[in-house]
């Protein structure tokens, strides 16, 4: 039997960075019709109710129904070390991240952390994540098995590192290739799961490893490749030392076959003009990680400039470098960073980034990210008055954007009234904490 969800609805017919808020489609009395895991229609409630009298009705009142949030860059293995104090990137990796990632050598611990990641992110309205795993193939198995059991569309890959990482957290060029290939054969295209070729970043791979991963990617057209690019200035200087023949950081990836339209570059803050021109020419995607960029002290991503010149951009939490599991908080941080650069990003553009924009960056714009007919039914239902502070501000609103912006700036998991995954409502789970944590 079809389901008919009633409430305010918000979706996008175009990119608000290009078209302005008119790119959005808002129905004050809207509805979304779901059947067989897909969105069949969305529009005015009266029309859809009349056309589908047999549908099971779920009345969300004044709540806002949107496509679920899409987190385009996250490290699920870092869930338990979110909000670790006092370091910049390289020290933060060595002090907090690598020791924790070493623990995922234990498949049972990996499964615990994967389950916790999905419990937390679903409670925050995120229905698709593109995650880094660890070097351990079982960490990929854990993430995909958890996503599969929940019916989620999800992406990850074995993080490859064969230098500048501690004992127990290094692979080799050969094993990175062989393990990645075996995981592709096991998981890529199974249910809603996609494998992503994942060299961590240039400093932790030898040229030989980058080369084999570039070759593996070339064997799988249509697959994504994710890594990090130009996050901190110290990192860029290190890359210059490690790869003296490269013109710049991006050139390291390109020289090893790791640049193409399916490339996802996390951070991409300190780019040269040449890098920007080349990224745009190729049509690679940049992933903005604003809470991480302020938390680790990385810098101010040029959102307005990069979108204005036609780059593809997605939005991401980057937990645990990022300091929040919430894509609402992530939108707020994107707004604040743009303000520091002198641009006020419209709420429509923020919401687009967290849904359709991130879906497009992942090459999934025809599957998820909007309420268009035929899209997979991954939805979030937002309470626009989830706390007294938000409610009193939203009560003064004159339009949707004034009603929504307080939730963007001040909302958290309390704003998530319901989540639908693959056409079914998700029962919220309290994250499981095991005794050893």
> How many Cα neighbours within 13 Å face the side chain of 83?
3
Minimum CB separation from ligand GUN for residue 200, in Å? 5
- Tell me the torsion sign for CA atoms 378, 44, 7, 26: positive
Q: In angstroms, rounded to a whole number, what is the distance separating the alpha carbons of residues 221 and 218?
A: 6
Structure tokens belonging to residue 15: 């990119």
Each residue 260-289 as x (binds Zn ion by CB under 5 A) or -, in order, gives: ------x-----------------------
Q: What angle do CA 86, 92, 97 make, to 5 degrees?
A: 130
Helix ranges, 395-432 (H)? 400-410
292 lies in the binding site for ligand GUN (CB under 6 A): yes
> Considering the rule CB under 6 A, would residue 325 count as an interface residue with ligand GUN?
no
Which residues ranging from 171 to 210 are in contact with ligand GUN (CB under 6 A)? 200-201
Residue 138 site contact among ligand GUN, Zn ion, none (CB < 5 to 8 Å, cut-off depends on kind): none
State yes or no: residue 375 binds ligand GUN (CB under 6 A). Answer: no
> For residue 204, what is the DSSP state?
G
CA–CA separation, 66 vs 17, rounded Å? 18
CA distance 217 to 198: 10
Q: How far is the CB of 315 from ligand GUN (least distance, A)?
A: 15
# chain residues binding Zn ion, by CB under 5 A: 2
CB of 266 or CB of 360, closer to Zn ion = 266
**What is the Cβ-side half-sphere exposure of residue 44, based on CA atoms within 13 angstroms?**
3
CA distances from 370 to 329, 353, 382 (A): 20, 11, 15
Q: Which stretch binds Zn ion (CB under 5 A): 240-248, 301-309, 311-319, 346-354?
A: 311-319
Residue nearest to ligand GUN (CB): 321
**Contact criterion met (CB below 8 Å) for 133 and 77:** yes
In whole angstroms, the minimum distance from the beta carbon of 90 to ligand GUN comes to 9
CA 127, CA 153: separation in Å to the nearest integer? Answer: 7
Does residue 75 interact with ligand GUN by CB under 6 A? yes
Are the C-beta atoms of 127 and 170 separated by less than 8 Å?
no
Rounded to a whole number of angstroms, the minimum distance from the CB of residue 269 to Zn ion is 12
417 binds, among Zn ion, ligand GUN, none (CB under 5 to 8 A by kind): none
Q: 231 touches which of Zn ion, ligand GUN, none (CB within 5 to 8 A by kind)? A: ligand GUN
Q: Per rule CB under 6 A, is residue 321 in the interface with ligand GUN?
A: yes
Three-class SS state of 332 = helix
Structure tokens at 253: 């990836």
Q: Is 231 in the site for ligand GUN (CB under 6 A)?
A: yes
Which x/- pattern, by CB under 6 A, does the window 32-71 give for ligand GUN? ----------------------------------------
Size of the site for ligand GUN (CB under 6 A): 12
- Shortest distance (Å) from residue 358 CB to ligand GUN: 17
User: Following CA atoms 309, 321, 142, 355 in sequence, which dihedral angle do they give, to the nearest 10 degrees?
Assistant: -40
Nearer to Zn ion, 132 or 405 (CB): 132
User: Is there binding between residue 228 and ligand GUN (CB under 6 A)?
Assistant: yes
Rounded CA-CA distance 15/18 in Å is: 6
Residues interacting with Zn ion, by CB under 5 A? 266, 318
Residues interacting with ligand GUN, by CB under 6 A? 75, 89, 93, 97, 200-201, 228, 231, 292, 296, 318, 321
């Amino acid at each position: 039997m079809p389901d008919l969800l009633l409430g305010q609805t918000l979706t996008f017919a175009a990119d608000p960075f290009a078209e302005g808020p008119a790119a959005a489609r808002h129905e004050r009395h809207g509805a979304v019709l779901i059947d067989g895991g897909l969105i069949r229609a969305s529009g005015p409630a009266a029309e859809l109710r009349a056309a589908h009298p047999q549908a099971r009705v779920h009345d969300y009142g004044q709540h806002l129904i949107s496509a679920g949030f899409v987190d385009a860059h996250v490290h699920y293995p870092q869930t338990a070390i979110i909000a670790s104090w006092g370091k910049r990137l390289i020290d933060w990796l060595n002090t907090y991240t690598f020791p924790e990632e070493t623990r995922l050598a234990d498949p049972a611990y990996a499964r615990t952390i994967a389950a916790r990641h999905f419990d937390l992110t679903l409670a925050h309205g995120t229905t698709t994540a593109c995650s880094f795993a660890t070097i351990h193939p079982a960490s990929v198995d854990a993430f995909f098995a958890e996503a599969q059991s929940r019916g989620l569309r999800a992406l990850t890959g074995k993080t490859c590192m064969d230098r500048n990482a501690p004992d127990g957290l290094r692979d080799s060029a050969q094993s990175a290739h062989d393990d990645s290939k075996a995981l592709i054969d096991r998981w890529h295209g199974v249910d809603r799961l996609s494998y992503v070729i994942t060299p961590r970043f240039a400093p932790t791979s030898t040229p030989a490893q980058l080369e084999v991963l570039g070759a593996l990617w070339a064997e799988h057209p249509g697959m994504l490749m994710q890594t990090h690019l130009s996050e901190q200035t110290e990192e860029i200087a290190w890359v210059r030392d490690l790869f003296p023949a490269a013109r710049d950081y991006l050139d390291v990836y390109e020289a090893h076959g790791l640049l193409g339209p399916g490339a996802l570059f996390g951070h991409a803050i300190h780019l040269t003009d040449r890098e920007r021109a080349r990224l745009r020419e190729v049509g690679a995607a940049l992933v903005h990680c604003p809470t991480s960029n302020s938390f680790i002290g990385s810098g101010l991503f040029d959102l307005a400039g990069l979108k204005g010149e036609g780059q593809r951009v997605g939005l991401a939490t980057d937990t645990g470098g990022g300091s929040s599991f919430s894509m609402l908080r992530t939108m707020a941080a994107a707004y604040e960073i743009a303000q520091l650069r002198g641009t006020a990003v419209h709420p429509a553009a923020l919401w687009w980034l967290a849904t359709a924009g991130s879906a497009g960056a992942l090459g999934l714009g025809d599957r998820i990210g909007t309420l268009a007919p035929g899209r997979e039914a991954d939805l979030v239902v937002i309470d626009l008055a989830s706390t007294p502070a938000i409610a009193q501000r939203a009560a003064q609103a004159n339009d949707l954007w004034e009603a929504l912006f307080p939730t963007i700036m001040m909302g958290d998991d309390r704003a998530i009234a319901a989540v639908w995954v693959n056409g079914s409502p998700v029962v919220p789970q309290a994250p499981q904490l095991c005794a050893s944590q």
